[in-house]
């Protein structure tokens, strides 16, 4: 339950997408309404997803969000005008593409007694590689571990979301790109960003965010992952996935109303 969670003066929300905003792969009406209500109250909403660049393009163009971080921290996109999107890569797109080609070759050359399948959205990724283990494919824990360990041994970064095994090359993750967004887009130093931000997520690949942001929340479906997580959320919603997100939004907005912040907070970062 989130009744006792203190949101304080936070006015920025970083949120995971798969199984945090989505419920069984769908964005429920009450979840999207919760995003809209938060944005209308002056809270800057920034999705942080392992999802592909193609998905992020749709999100930044159509949702009431300030920015979107995609492919596990490889880039962020901002809307600079109603129909204009600007992309900011961790390094540069060409070097990321070269790394991606090496990862694809490494995945293709794995010697396993089963065939790993790339995620259905791989064609729309610009930086990382995603192997499907729990979306259209179904791999068991041992098979996921085999892929993880084999690619980790080759020097790649490997992390599991609730649906994909994400593989990338570089010193970025969700948290490091969130800090860059805070600095470059919001004009906040790391301490100020941590004080003014809430993070909500659901899976082990959110650990870097749970570890970096003191105001952290998990939706209820995170409970199954807690035994393998070093960094855990401070509080957990009673509802799973998108309903847990809506529960968090209700609690936050009620606190803002009680503290006199029910109207849009127009402070600039």
Residue 269 has pLDDT above 60, yes or no: no
pLDDT value for 262: 57
Predicted confidence band at 268 (pLDDT cuts at 50, 70, 90)? very low
Residue 266 has pLDDT above 60, yes or no: no
Q: Which is more confident, 82 or 137?
A: 137
Phi-psi map region of 259: left, alpha, beta (phi>0 left; psi -120 to 50 alpha): alpha
Q: Note whether residue 214 is domain-resident.
A: yes
Same-domain status, 155 and 200: no
Predicted confidence band at 260 (pLDDT cuts at 50, 70, 90)? confident
Same-domain status, 60 and 190: yes
Q: Which residues contact 111 (CB under 8 A, 6 or more apart)?
A: none
CA atoms within 13 A on the CB side of 111: 0
Same-domain status, 77 and 27: yes
Same-domain status, 108 and 225: no
Q: Output the CA torsion 178→92→203→148 (10° steps).
A: -150
Q: Note whether residue 3 is domain-resident.
A: no
As a whole number of angstroms, the distance between CA 109 and CA 87 comes to 32
The pLDDT of 144-155, averaged and rounded, is 98
pLDDT value for 261: 76
Domain count, the chain: 2
Return the ∠ at Cα 172 (arms to 34 and 107), rounded to 5°: 100
Domain that holds residue 202: 12-90+172-258
As a whole number of angstroms, the distance between CA 34 and CA 16 comes to 14
């Amino acid at each position: 339950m989130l009744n006792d969670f203190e949101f304080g003066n936070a006015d920025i929300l970083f949120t995971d997408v798969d199984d945090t905003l989505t419920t069984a792969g769908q964005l429920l009406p009450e979840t999207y309404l919760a995003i809209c209500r938060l944005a209308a109250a002056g809270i800057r909403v920034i999705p942080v997803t392992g999802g592909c660049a193609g998905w992020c393009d749709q999100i930044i163009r159509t949702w009431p969000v300030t920015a979107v971080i995609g492919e596990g921290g490889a880039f962020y996109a901002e809307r600079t005008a109603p129909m204009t999107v600007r992309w900011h890569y961790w390094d540069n797109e060409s070097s990321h593409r070269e790394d991606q080609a090496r990862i694809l070759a490494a995945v293709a050359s794995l010697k396993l007694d089963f065939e790993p399948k790339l995620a259905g959205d791989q064609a729309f990724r610009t930086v990382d590689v995603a192997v499907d283990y729990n979306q259209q494919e179904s791999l068991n824990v041992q098979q996921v571990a085999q892929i993880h360990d084999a690619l980790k041994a080759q020097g790649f970064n490997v992390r599991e979301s609730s649906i994909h095994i994400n593989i990338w090359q570089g010193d970025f993750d969700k948290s490091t790109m969130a800090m860059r967004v805070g600095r470059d887009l919001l004009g906040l130093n790391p301490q100020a960003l941590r004080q003014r931000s809430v993070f909500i997520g659901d899976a082990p690949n959110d650990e870097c965010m749970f570890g970096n942001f003191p105001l952290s929340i998990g939706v209820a479906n995170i409970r199954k992952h807690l035994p393998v997580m070093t960094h855990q959320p401070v509080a957990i919603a009673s509802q799973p996935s998108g309903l847990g997100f809506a529960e968090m939004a209700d609690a936050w907005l009620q606190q803002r109303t009680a503290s006199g912040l029910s109207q849009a907070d127009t402070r600039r970062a």
